[in-house]
Structure 1
Amino acid sequence: MTETFDVTNPATGELIEKVAIDSEEAINDKIEKIHQAFHSWSRTSATERSKLLRAWHDKMIENKAELAALMTAENGKPLKESEGEVLYAAGYIEWFAEEAKRVYGRTIPASTTDKRMLVTREAVGPVAAITPWNFPAAMITRKAAPALAAGCTFIIKPAPDTPLTAIRLVELAHEVGIPEDVIQYVNADGETVGKIFTKHPHIRKISFTGSTPVGKLLMKQSADSVKHVSMELGGHAPLIVDEYADIDRAVKHALASKFRNAGQTCVCANRLLVHESIKDEFTAAFTKAVSEMKVGPGTEEGVAIGPVINKKGFDKIVAQIDDAKSKGAKVLAGGTYNADADKGYFFVNPTVLDQVTDDMNIMHEETFGPVAPITTYTEIDEAIRLANDTPFGLAAYFFTENYRRGLYIAENLKYGIVGWNDGGPSAVQAPFGGMKESGVGREGGIEGIEPYLETKYISIGI
């Protein structure tokens, strides 16, 4: 009998579907299939791959309502956010459908007349990807689209909390004519799949989005066969509100950054560093706006904050709030919950913490929840030091209308993504990725296809 696992609605705890667990034999069989398919897919013309990717994009748009409803059911995010993610995810496919036709080589002037020197680019090989639950569609397409565009075949292991979106995306790819053996999915225990992916000789690249500890483990395991790796790992994003900031703009974008997907994003603001001269004005406006956010199931009209994905995530958020309160933090909004472990749902009301100090866990650990801690600074170099005082370097934000101050802050923040007066800098045409322990490589933009390509140099004697 085939083993299964339950996929439940995090807003209600209700069972959505039972999903079959792939055996090790089945996983190895699928890897063998993408390995065999690589030989033909990598030789398909760039134009043909581009057309198929564009058809996949169009199919996603055609099925936007279905995909969004599925995503909200298994992930919990508000339906409007899910619809936005479908468009965002499809955008990566559209972008790399065009980039498939722009994988260029070059000629090098030889030092003698009896040689010709060529540089070509070719697909790295079969790719295995492991993605998280917080963006069930976008985290897949920004890996699958450049892989397929480059001529790689692709196998995905989605998060067990949200596998249904991944399954449907792969089905849609097959429906438009992308061969079944070119893009596959597997569902099984993460540790088991990770070991198979990293040890299998046919897998030439691992692409992972998730926690830094797991990313480090996958990198170590991949070293034995010298696989290519792309890692988009944890973050602890600071958000600086400078004394020259437009307060209304800062509040609007801080809300968008902090509370999108109930704060369950790797790039959401985790620490708000506000200049002491404007702290009271900013905090009052921000707290008022947070207090007005509606919490509930993502299918309800006007809901801004959906449920936390599971009990593990809920427990971490509560522990951080309790730790901050025990050390003197003041709760300005939220700090309350609607949770039932037996029924399987966990809601955290959007929370603002004031008088936060550096000894609190929330200032050093990624929250992944709707909690905004506020602290103050007096000099901009102090804010930059606090912002950089972390092993992570994924995303950072700051708000100032002073261009000299802005350039200084931007140039001194050690982060791969910096939003200046912008709480939502991520875009399909821009590179996404972090510095330090936040990862290796970039996704999106013209940089996004590079990790899926090998460089070959050909020297011809004539």
Structure 2
Amino acid sequence: MLIGASTAHLENGKQVDVLNPASGELIDTVTSATPAHIELTLDCAKKGRDLWAETPLHERCKILFKYADLVEANQDELALLLSKETGKAIKSAEGEMSRVGMMVRGYAERALHLYGDCLSDAQPGMEKDVIFTRRDPLGIVVCVVPFNHPASLYTQKIAPALAMGNAIIIKPASDNPLTVLRLTQLLLDAGVPPTVAQCITGSGSVIGNYLVSSPHINAITLTGSTGVGIAVAEQAAKHLHHVHLELGGNDPFIVFGDADVDVAVEDTVISRAFTAGQTCASSKRLIIHNSIKQTYTEKLVARLKEIKVGDPQSRDTDVGTLINEGAAAEVEKQVQHTIDQGAKCILGGKRDGAFFPMTVLTDVTPEMDVSKDLEIFGPVFPVIGFDTPEEAIEIANSSCFGLMSGIMTNDYKTAMKMAKALQSGGVVVGGTGNYRPPELAFGGYKMSGIGREGISATLEEMSQLKSIILKGVF
């Protein structure tokens, strides 16, 4: 853990093994935090909060620019570590790490040019007053990082929080905390004071519950499951903590009969396959016009047979493992549940340890759980037919989730009507909803979360607006 100035394992903490999910080998161990560790972290964060809030913005951003350089200088090491502990193919791990420096610089640049407002004398009685705004830090922000994209989602949280003057307490996923720990050490190497950025490891239920229940924190930003997000929101309400939640999704990809089937298939594969299906915004419901459904399905199966699932560290591998064997077993169980409801599995379906093959389900109907609220976090492709735009919208909106959506058609009038009707935080016209450049204000409707994350939005969410009134100065 990284608590205050200490990088050593602290006393009285149970050691947790970090395993390579592909081989089962021990990579390293981390300490499981006790309440004493968490209290020490909070005490340090209170000191860091005051120190960092008084640090000028230009100095904070100068440190962030240096941090971006350090990450890029260590990119190969970080990508290999990410691949080993996550089971992610090395090519995907390198792609994820390549975005970290760019995102850090983007947040820092925007923070340097985030200006306040000066209000006009719009109402009688304001003529002699000057009213202007500034943004203050929230205070202490707890950053809960998920297992699936730990480097990029870590950056989406810590960069805006630090740029806006907050102290941060980082909680990485228990399965793969090592990359996040290494990234945090580089933060300290870049000049962030050790009380300002801390990383605490161990049980999510113990650490998360303790921190969220504390009156000493000010905000929580979490990417994770909807169930965990609801529990966090309930606890946070007791102290009115600011809450930012990016949660689950069961995103639709709607493909009309006039679409280019080859392009639709390739977009489907890119969206769903290359992270082993472990992406919130990947297309998990393939809603395909019945006139092309058979052709689409045949081409999808043929394309998926080309995907090589294997050793994550091999350059020949396209897709590695799921995060652990338990996750693969859960996906297998969900696939079998869908088959029991009447679907047909025409490719894959059975795991091998933590590896899960590309899996295609046909004869899927709108009444099945997978067509609504069953989010399968694995490389599973359920194909659902439709005849009319209204039917496609009904299927798409039948889910409790509403993260992202995708539409593919050559009729842009139909596409825009669909985009307006779809209940999701973002709609991609011309591709799948798995679209997240760093600038995008990313987030969902309904049970997919609260708030937006991205360079265009998160700085405001990581700060609070203060109005300063100079009364009677004219």
Corresponding position: 1:105 with 2:116: yes
* Matching of residues 351-390 of structure 1 within 5 Å: 351-363=359-371, 364-390=373-399
Identity %: 35
Contact 1:253-1:421 within 8 A present in 2 as well:
no
Contact 1:170-1:184 within 8 A present in 2 as well:
yes
Aligned to 1:140: 154
Which amino acid is 1:300 matched to? S
Alpha-carbon distance between aligned partners in 2 of 1:52 and 1:235, rounded to the nearest angstrom: 35
Deviations 1:236-260 (A, max 9, x none): 1111111121111111110011113
Contact 2:110-2:455 within 8 A present in 1 as well:
no
Aligned to 1:233: 247
Corresponding position: 1:442 with 2:442: no
Alpha-carbon distance between aligned partners in 1 of 2:103 and 2:209, rounded to the nearest angstrom: 28
Deviations 1:93-129 (A, max 9, x none): 1111112212321211234443222222111111011
Contact 1:75-1:133 within 8 A present in 2 as well:
yes
Corresponding position: 1:40 with 2:15: no
Contact 2:364-2:382 within 8 A present in 1 as well:
yes
Aligned residue for 2:135, secondary structure, equals strand
* Matching of residues 182-201 of structure 1 within 5 Å: 182-201=196-215
Per-residue deviation at 1:446?
1.6
Alpha-carbon distance between aligned partners in 2 of 1:292 and 1:113, rounded to the nearest angstrom: 71
Aligned to 2:27: 16
Gaps of 5+ in 1: 340-345
TM score, norm. by length of structure 2: 0.93
Which amino acid is 1:255 matched to? V
Gaps of 5+ in 2: 1-11
Aligned residue for 2:131, secondary structure, equals strand
Alpha-carbon distance between aligned partners in 2 of 1:108 and 1:146, rounded to the nearest angstrom: 26
Aligned residue for 1:426, secondary structure, equals coil
Aligned residue for 1:337, secondary structure, equals coil
Alpha-carbon distance between aligned partners in 2 of 1:153 and 1:260, rounded to the nearest angstrom: 34
Corresponding position: 1:69 with 2:80: yes
Per-residue deviation at 1:13?
1.0
Per-residue deviation at 1:288?
0.2
Name which of 390, 406, 412 aligns with 1:397: 406
Per-residue deviation at 1:57?
1.0
* Matching of residues 183-332 of structure 1 within 5 Å: 183-332=197-346
Aligned to 1:342: none
Aligned residue for 1:145, secondary structure, equals helix
Contact 1:260-1:268 within 8 A present in 2 as well:
no
Contact 1:391-1:437 within 8 A present in 2 as well:
yes
Aligned residue for 2:457, secondary structure, equals helix
Alpha-carbon distance between aligned partners in 2 of 1:137 and 1:236, rounded to the nearest angstrom: 23
Deviations 1:348-397 (A, max 9, x none): 11011111123433223100001101010000110111001011111111
Contact 2:33-2:207 within 8 A present in 1 as well:
no
TM score, norm. by length of structure 1: 0.96
Per-residue deviation at 1:163?
0.3
Corresponding position: 1:57 with 2:68: yes
* Matching of residues 115-126 of structure 1 within 5 Å: 115-126=129-140
Contact 1:323-1:360 within 8 A present in 2 as well:
no
Name which of 87, 92, 96 aligns with 1:85: 96
Aligned residue for 2:166, secondary structure, equals coil
Alpha-carbon distance between aligned partners in 1 of 2:390 and 2:347, rounded to the nearest angstrom: 29
Deviations 1:14-48 (A, max 9, x none): 11111112221121111221211121211222211
Which amino acid is 1:76 matched to? G
Alpha-carbon distance between aligned partners in 2 of 1:112 and 1:351, rounded to the nearest angstrom: 65
Alpha-carbon distance between aligned partners in 2 of 1:219 and 1:115, rounded to the nearest angstrom: 39
More moved, 257-266 vs 106-115: 106-115
Deviations 1:369-427 (A, max 9, x none): 01101010000110111001011111111211221111111111111122222334101
Aligned residue for 1:261, secondary structure, equals coil
Corresponding position: 1:455 with 2:465: yes
Contact 1:415-1:434 within 8 A present in 2 as well:
yes
Alpha-carbon distance between aligned partners in 2 of 1:405 and 1:218, rounded to the nearest angstrom: 39
Aligned to 2:169: 155
Contact 1:442-1:448 within 8 A present in 2 as well:
yes
Alpha-carbon distance between aligned partners in 2 of 1:90 and 1:437, rounded to the nearest angstrom: 31
Aligned pairs, number: 456
Per-residue deviation at 1:337?
2.5
Pairwise CA RMSD = 1.4
Contact 1:61-1:90 within 8 A present in 2 as well:
yes
Alpha-carbon distance between aligned partners in 2 of 1:412 and 1:445, rounded to the nearest angstrom: 26
Aligned residue for 2:157, secondary structure, equals helix
